[in-house]
Amino acid sequence: MVTTERLLSVDQVAELLGTTVRFPRWLIEERRITFVKVGRHVRIPETAVAAFVAANTVEPVTIRRAGLRRVA
């Protein structure tokens, strides 16, 4: 199966996430993100990065002053 999806290098993913190169490499090593081996090169699909960010996004909690209850 051939896809026309954009494949990003580890450097590009690090820049996109605002991290060092070590972080995406760790994600790959721990199999926490989808990746593709192209010969000796490792590439990460753009949708895999978006899915990783979405899965790890924490929504803020709003607090009502009256009863100080947390509302999700």
* 42 contacts 36 by C-beta, under 8 angstroms: yes
Q: Does the reported pTM lie above 0.75?
A: yes
Domain that holds residue 62: 7-71
- DSSP at 37: E
Residue 60, pLDDT above cutoff 80: yes
Neighbours of 33 (CB within 10 A): 17
Would 54 be classed as within a structural domain?
Answer: yes
Neighbours of 43 (CB within 10 A): 18
Residue 15, pLDDT above cutoff 90: yes
Would 28 be classed as within a structural domain?
Answer: yes
Residue 25, pLDDT above cutoff 90: yes
Would 15 be classed as within a structural domain?
Answer: yes
Would 40 be classed as within a structural domain?
Answer: yes
